[in-house]
Amino acid sequence: MLNKVVLVILASCISSMSFACSKPVQPELPEVGSAVLAQMVKAQKDVKKYLALSDEYLACQGDKKRYNAMIDEMKAVGDDFNALVKDYKARS
């Protein structure tokens, strides 16, 4: 019985570690030039969540090539979101 409990706990830990090391999916951003306030708020939340998950992914990433690729991807998402914000403010 104790072996089963230990096995379940071990499996749970391993699955949560592999989940933490899963590469997050980039958020979908609204179209530049047509985004409305509700879309901007959702995009901001999605980008913040993506960046937080990306930080977790980076913390457990041992491969330098994947690490650097993730940094580049995070920067691109941030740049895209900042361009969206700039456009939205210009239209408001």
Segment 1-38, tens digit of pLDDT: 555 544 445 454 444 444 569 999 999 999 989 999 99
Here the tokens at position 17 are 């570690």
* Alpha helices, H only, the chain: 2-20, 37-59, 64-91
Which carries the bigger pLDDT value, residue 15 or residue 41?
41
Per-residue confidence (pLDDT) for residue 92, from 0 to 100: 86
Segment 52-73, tens digit of pLDDT: 999 999 999 999 999 999 999 9
Output the pTM of the full model.
0.76
